[in-house]
Structure 1
Amino acid sequence: MTANPSTPTGVGPSSGSARLEPAKMRKIATASVIGTTVEWYDLFLVGTASALVFNRVFFPDLDGAVGTILAFLTFASAYVARTAGAVLFGHFGDRLGRKSMLLISLITMGVATVAIGLVPDYRAIGVAAPLLLLTLRLIQGLALGGEWGGAVLMTVEHAPVHRRGWYGSLVQVGVPAGTLLANLAFLAVLASVDHDAFLDWGWRVPFLLSALLVGVGIYIRLHIEETPSFQQVKDRGAKAKLPFAYLMRHYWKQVLLGGVATLSTGSTFTLLVTSGVNYGTTELGHSEDLMLWAVLVACVLAFAAIPFFGRLSDRLGRKPVILAGVAAEVLLAFPFFWMLDSGSVPLLFAAYTLMMLAFSANYGPIATFLAEQFGSKIRYSGLSVAYMLSGLLGSAATPAVTVWLLSLTGQSSSVAWYIVATSLLSLGALLLLRSIAGGSRFDEAEVDPADQSGAEGGSERRTV
């Protein structure tokens, strides 16, 4: 079969997606985008609330910096659960299918988020309040660990190979879209009530609104089809009995390198939407509204930029686009803080938009790039575990590390060095990973290189 001229050499149409009508492909992509938007909205509500209110509501008797660190550690706890969720949902996603796991993860996330909005504060029930918050945060993380990988595969495994980067990047739009909705919800509440009312009950409203968004997501996901890749695995009786064990035996290098390669996406985005908000309000004296607007504007940019870079990866290859994004994050780390520390509002917005653009180039193609590292019968597990590992290493640590570095050094340059370090680690891992060249192999579940050679990567034809 002749390769599409816009794709990397050797890539041909996906056998499963060639039969899929464009209207159905759009429906599947829409369902994945809406579902991931709801999930990330739920997740980043906690990130924004950690920066604005949780230290005063759930840790009021502690020193400001200590309370903020504990609030951010509660935020980080979900990332531990995300890794466990990736293993759990990955197992059943590879055994039972992608669609059912997406529904279960969305419902679980919605219930936990609404429950966070109902948790009494520290004044009412004492230490039980932060413990309940932590428990619900862990449930959130467990759900998201199963959501992201399934949503990516629902689009990527249906998509024509010459548009895999584009469709995979649409799922990534759920991150800025969910953050945008979370910030809009908090901005609306802040504009409607005074500060005392916001601390008392107003912050709960965005969490309770999640119930409506989850309902929409469930309705749409009930009407999508299982992926052709999983159907091939099922029809041929090729499912792995223990997907995670099989994954770690044959693909452990891709898992570890994939996690480190994605590290900088988590640290950079969390810097913008969580740590940056806290730094701007507590260290620079900006209003909460201003910092939320900076995040909002940056997310609007990412909403357009992420699909652009995903489509660009279909033409230039995944790795060149991702490497350019990571390199830009390194180059912008110090200028980002120089612009923030200037105190200038226009420079604040410029700093956020430039760093978000670098993040978008990195983040847009990474989902498809990771999915292409794994065979069909363990792809849900492999993609999910690798990505959630990066969250544990990057997103989870960044808020608490940045507060600790600032309290220790008093210099924003210490945080810039942290961003440089995480980006350089990702750069190194990306250079060690290989980009897939045999596109038709992506859907050939019966030809698993691990089955043939027992070696990582096997005989699959790849190109750097």
Structure 2
Amino acid sequence: MTTPQGADKRALRRAYTASLSGTALEYYDFAAYSVAAATLFGDLFFPSGDDLAGTMAAFSTYAIGYLARPLGGIVFGRLGDVIGRKKVLVYTLLLAGIATFLIGLLPTHATIGGAAAILLVILRFAQGVAVGGEWGGAVLLSSEYGDPKRRGFWASAAQIGPPAGNLLANGVIALLGMVLSEAAYESWGWRIAFLLSAVLVAFGLWIRLRLEETPVFKAIAEREERPSAPVSEVMRTERRALVAGALVRVCPDVTYSLFTVFVLTYMVTELGMSKTQGSAAVMIGSAVQLGLMPAFGALSDRMNRRRLYLYGTIAAAVWPFVFFPMVAGGSFLLLAFGIVVALVIHAALYGPQAALITEQFSPRLRYTGSSLAYTFAGVIGGAPAPLVLAALLNWLGSWWILGVYLLLSAALTVVGLWLARDPAEDEVAAPATEEKVLS
């Protein structure tokens, strides 16, 4: 394996760790909120006497985290192409960590009334802004240090963050559920999961502050090719790349929401299973994903990335029609198996996704373009998914409509793959510091 000029193996490993640890923190935050929204926050922050209404309200704040992402993508994506990747990633890490820590200190509805819900929404919004600015930079941090021929593998560092964060959050919550009584957990124990983010922030800052700027950005700055208005330039010159990058994320986002967030509500309300069983099943699936993200990223370097992505999309569209009949009997083993398979399929999409999206854009606009594609996709994919899934199930009372919803999201991703391009051979062969600026 070769490394780009100006970057030794130690810097490459450090960049990979920095990318992984930062996204793991931010998805730990999102996963902790997701579990709490599905099982607890409806009662604590949105009490109404109607379980469905409380769950929908809690999922609404889950969606706000996605809806805030485009703002983060615009603000931090622009800064990433103008002032550099490293500085922006320190800002996003701090914002996410502080917001999550404050959720752990937040008074509930029983203490301050409706103000509790308002404050929760504000902090959730801040989480979303941070994640919107984090992803594009985290992907570039590792991929711009690594060999372009192995872009799928190096860019997958940021993709390991979601299952790592999900595993950690569900592990912490499961542990709290085991050592605390249900009353203690619902009263104050859940706060510990959010307060622990301070430890993860400290570790992430220690890694990122020791890192140098990426070789690619250094080369762009030295050539004085940094864009002055990257957002408008992407909108003007790279619209097809933006649409393609956004659409290829829709199916993975809906798949992930269905099998890690909504499934927790479904198994409790429809199957009569316990919250602990759901968290355990998601933990098992997330643990399996940890090794599969870089594996599928590496596989996408050896075969056509779009073709691999298409196979994963087809599998995602089919799996709900197998999963729901399979778990109808309430078996934990079948539930765990079904979630594991779903997250393996998700890994086949998510592992190569970072490389697929970033290589749609020219290097000088890559932070902005990737961030906008990532965050816009969240608005139409991940943000409404738990809400729509809950509403569809309540409306028709049957699981098949959930499968149809995922099938429609897969169709959008297929359109995105058709619009996407494969990188030219000279882009892949050239050292990272000499990548050509695409027109």
TM-score (norm 2): 0.97
1:44 Cα deviation after fit: 1.4
User: Which amino acid in the other structure matches residue 346 of structure 1?
Assistant: L
Please identify runs of 4+ aligned residues in structure 1 that moved more than 4 A.
Answer: 440-447
Q: Deviations 1:256-309 (Å, cap 9, x if unpaired)?
A: 221111101111111111101111112111111100000000001111111111
Question: 3-state DSSP class of the match of 2:156?
Answer: helix
Question: 3-state DSSP class of the match of 1:312?
Answer: helix
1:119 Cα deviation after fit: 0.9
* Alignment partner, residue 448 of structure 1: 437
Are the equivalent residues in 2 in contact too, given 1:376–1:445 (CA < 8 A)? Answer: no
CA distance in 1, matches of 2:432, 2:337: 43
TM-score (norm 1): 0.92
1:130 Cα deviation after fit: 0.4
2:93 maps to 1:122: no
Are the equivalent residues in 1 in contact too, given 2:147–2:432 (CA < 8 A)? Answer: no
User: Which amino acid in the other structure matches residue 37 of structure 2?
Assistant: S
CA distance in 2, matches of 1:211, 1:444: 35
1:446 Cα deviation after fit: 8.4
CA distance in 2, matches of 1:355, 1:288: 19
* Alignment partner, residue 27 of structure 2: 40
Are the equivalent residues in 2 in contact too, given 1:98–1:226 (CA < 8 A)? Answer: yes
CA distance in 1, matches of 2:362, 2:221: 14
List runs of 5+ in structure 1 lacking aligned partners: 5-12, 451-464
Are the equivalent residues in 1 in contact too, given 2:59–2:386 (CA < 8 A)? Answer: yes
List runs of 5+ in structure 2 lacking aligned partners: none
* Alignment partner, residue 83 of structure 1: 70
Q: Which of 143, 147, 163 does residue 156 from structure 1 map onto? A: 143
Are the equivalent residues in 2 in contact too, given 1:334–1:416 (CA < 8 A)? Answer: yes
Q: Which of 326, 332, 337 does residue 313 from structure 2 map onto? A: 326
* Alignment partner, residue 7 of structure 1: none
* Alignment partner, residue 263 of structure 1: 250
* Alignment partner, residue 381 of structure 1: 368
User: Which amino acid in the other structure matches residue 437 of structure 2?
Assistant: D
Are the equivalent residues in 1 in contact too, given 2:7–2:215 (CA < 8 A)? Answer: no
Q: Which of 261, 278, 289 does residue 265 from structure 2 map onto? A: 278
2:290 maps to 1:303: yes
1:75 Cα deviation after fit: 0.6
1:424 Cα deviation after fit: 1.7
Q: Which of 387, 397, 422 does residue 400 from structure 1 map onto? A: 387
Are the equivalent residues in 1 in contact too, given 2:4–2:432 (CA < 8 A)? Answer: no
Q: Which moved more, 1:439-448 or 1:367-376?
A: 439-448
- How many pairs are equivalent? 437
1:20 Cα deviation after fit: 2.4
Are the equivalent residues in 2 in contact too, given 1:238–1:446 (CA < 8 A)? Answer: no
* Alignment partner, residue 205 of structure 1: 192
Q: CA RMSD in A?
A: 1.5
CA distance in 2, matches of 1:386, 1:340: 35
1:400 Cα deviation after fit: 0.6
1:351 Cα deviation after fit: 0.8
2:385 maps to 1:411: no
Question: 3-state DSSP class of the match of 2:267?
Answer: helix
Q: What is the identity percentage for the equivalent residue pairs of Structure 1 and Structure 2?
A: 37
Are the equivalent residues in 2 in contact too, given 1:83–1:389 (CA < 8 A)? Answer: yes
Question: 3-state DSSP class of the match of 1:225?
Answer: coil
Q: Which of 199, 206, 218 does residue 219 from structure 1 map onto? A: 206
CA distance in 2, matches of 1:442, 1:395: 35
